[in-house]
Structures are given as C-alpha cells and as structure tokens.
Structure 1
Amino acid sequence: MKDSQITSAEEFQIAGYFLQENFLSHKECDSLLQLITDYRQKNSIPKIYRNIKPIPLSYFVIDGKIIKSQIPEIQKLYETVNLVINNVTNRQFFPLNDIQVGCNINITEKGGTYRWHYDRNAITALLYLNKVDGGEIEFYPNYRIILPKAKFSRFQNVIDRVQQLSFFRHTFGKQIIIKPQPGLLLVMAGNKSLHSVRPVTESRERINIVMAYDLPNASFVVKDQLNTYLYSSEDVLNTDPNYS
C-alpha cells in the first residue's frame, strides 16, 4: 500500500472529495479479489434489484456482517482507510455502529447500475479493485441543500428529488466522472454528494469496496427499512426508503 498524498482539510471541505490513485497495488487488489472469489465459491450472495427510475438498483452485495466474520483482511482495510479519512478531513470520524452497513463489497455485473442517491453517513470511501468498461461513478460533490433542522423531513425529500433532475444537476452541480481502476480510492462527503453508477458494459464484473464513516453515535431514522432495501433480496415495496 502506498502512502496517501493527503490534501489539506480546507481543500477537502471546498472540493467535497479526495482521489488517491494506486492506494493499493495491482497485486494487493488481486489478493482481495481472490478472497472474494473464494467466499463466493462457497456461499451465495444476494442480488439486489429495485426498479427505480431513471436508474435501477442492480448489484450483488457482501455486507459488513459477513466481512467482519469471514473476510477479516477487508475489515482491516476498513480500519486503515479510517485513518486516511481522518488525516484528509482533520476530524475524527469512526466506522458506523451498524456493522452491516459500515463496509460492503458491491459486485456489479453487465448492465448493472446504482440509483441516484445521497448516503446516510457523512463520509464514504470507494476502493476499486478492478478495471471494467462502463460502471463509472458520476457524482456532484457538495451539491445537496441540507435542512439542518429537518434533515429527514418530507420537505428535505422534495428538495432531494428536485436536485436529482437532469436540468438541475447540469445547471447547478459540478459533474465528476470516475472510471473504475484497480487500487483507486475515492473519498467523498457522501451525505452531500449526489451520485450514481453508470451501467457496466462488459461481461467482467465491477468489484469495489464501499466504506462508510460518521461522527460518534450518528443515528438514521430510516435505518431498518433502508438496510432491507439495500442489503437483502427480500421483496419490498418499490419505494426508496430515503425518498418515500
């Protein structure tokens, strides 16, 4: 693992994201990919599909409970990236208390996508393990208008939905598009950055690790419904709990 080229906390606050190429070497990425393959050969993992417009949720997931018990090397990486984030932000963020959500492996096959959304947590890190055609993340850093005293209100949901519209994104947002590359680390203010994943266009799966961090004792009103929606293949009402 190479040393991170840490930007200043001021630069991160202004930009809303931080990008580190070669955070892991190709060899390290291959080792993690092999661990994931080994797990999948012995276990089935849920496929999540939610027919959201205009971009569905369509991916496989290995959640944080499994990672903590079965793939400790990735759990250790989750802790290591926490140190990087605290250096970048000059603040003390922590792994989420909700183990299932804290660290995930997302596996996106050909045609798979991930809906427009904001994260529930303050900081999100995405670590890419392989290169594929398509599967780019498109995001708009520091874009969200947050109502501090009504963060989970219906009015906040209305604002979020309006800001997702193409006209508003391209008029008022700064579009960033990142292609999957082995070892690439993207850190962003997840609850302020609108983001989605474009369709994977080749047969090779897009595999990345999603790591979530927040301030101590952070709580989320829609936690239970959202966890079922994002980490379980159970049938649910076709309504996004973040925007219902």
Structure 2
Amino acid sequence: MAKAAWSEFQEAVKKVLNQQRGVCAETNKRIPGTRTHHDIDVYAKFTALGAPITWLIECKLWQTRVTKEKVLAFHKIVEETGADRGLLIAENGYQSGAFEAAENANVELVSFQDFERRVGEEVAISRLTDYISRLAVLHHRYWQHPKDVRKEYDLRLDPYSMGGSVYKHYPIRSIISIAEGVIDRIQLRLFPLKTHAATLTWPDAVIGADVIHTVAEGVDWLDANVCEMEKVMDKVERKMAENGDFKPKPGNHLYKPFLNPFSG
C-alpha cells in the first residue's frame, strides 16, 4: 500500500467529518492514554447536550481483511483514551472474528461508503439531544409567565385581535409547537416533513426550509429556530426585569419528547 494513497484515504475521512456542522476532525493526532500516548489516524470532536463527544477513527487501506486482533487492539485504545466511540474504516472488509470482537466493544466496523452515507445522520442524531434540552427550557420559560404578561410583552397573540399592531408579535408558542413536532418526526424518520404550520399568521417568523428531507437538515432547522427563540426570550425577559414584571410562576412546564433519539 502506497503511503500517499493511505494519506489520501485519511484526508477523505476527515473531509467527510468536517463537512458536518459542529464537527472538528484532525488527522495523525497524538492523544494521551492511561499508560502511553496513541497515534490516531483521524480524531473528531463535536458537542452534544453541552458535553464534548470524541470519535477515534482508524483507516485501513489494506489488501487483506482486518483481523480480530486489530479490532481488540483498537478497542483497548478507545477504552484507555476515554473516547466515546471508535470506528474502523476498511475498504477490503473484515474477517468474521473481527465482527465478533466488535459486538462487545465500543467499535464499529464499516467501509468508507457506509461511513460517508451514515456519518451525517450519526452526528445529527447526537446533536439532536442538545436541541431537545434547549427546547424544553424554552417551553418552560414561555409558560412560566402569566398570560397577561405574555400578551403585554408580545409573546402571546390574542386571536380575536387581528388588526393594528398584530405584526409586532413574535409567535413563539407556535414555533415551539412546530419545533416539538419536528423533533418527534425526525426521531421517527418521517421524511419529508413540513416545517411551516398552515395556520401560522407569520410564516416568515419560521427560519429555514419549508420541507426537511434528512436528519441533518432537521437539526440545522432546529439550530436556526431555537437560537432565534432564545434570543427573543432573552430580550423579552430582560425587559420584564427592567420593568419589575419578571415574576415567573413555579410549576412543571417542561416539554418531554416521547421518543429517545437513539432508539431509531
């Protein structure tokens, strides 16, 4: 195997990872283990639920199939370094014993084609948990304020008042509901899915595509809209505090999605 070809293989894997939003991948990374340092072909990091996630990737551009012994050795490195996941990417396959070894290890055996096809969804699903948590907080922040305060600060529209200043309102309740539906449908893989409610008075308030076709597209949509809602709530609650109107009611208002994002 030519060294140049192997290096190109590593770079191709890194490129696939760095094309995913929020992922930072490096090649030929030396990282510490419990007893020694390890040289990793591709090292990737991203964040989910506010916590750093680490993937270690070994690239095997071999003429022969990867052995059980190689899988066990890589699994040991994953354990020693505290990585969240290990991926072995080989173009000429694996011996049967290699798959048996990987069953009880935090290591996945894939081809480059499978890796390229799945990595976007894998990263997006990991990121999805972060938006579930942030949306739950937004849900709570909205409902903890009394109805009259929500109306006073343009967070709640009186449906019987459709004239005059109607467009100054930001329909955060509607967008929260749409985002909750988007999360549920992403987890069930119900694609394509529509993101704009037909009854929403201000469709321009929803950021991004009208239709989502993949998990990655759905997470990007959530990123844009959850960030915007957080900005609005921050601004409104600062104004409430300045005016002495920030008096949230206690209670259990948290949104609880019905499906675990990793069950799909």
Place the TM-score, normalised by the shorter chain, in its bin: under 0.3
Bigger radius of gyration, 1 or 2?
Answer: 2
Which is strand-richer, 1 or 2? 1
Instruction: Give the number of the structure with larger relative contact order, counting CA–CA contacts within 8 Å between residues 6 or more apart.
Output: 1
- TM norm structure 2: 0.22
Which is helix-richer, 1 or 2? 2
- TM norm structure 1: 0.23
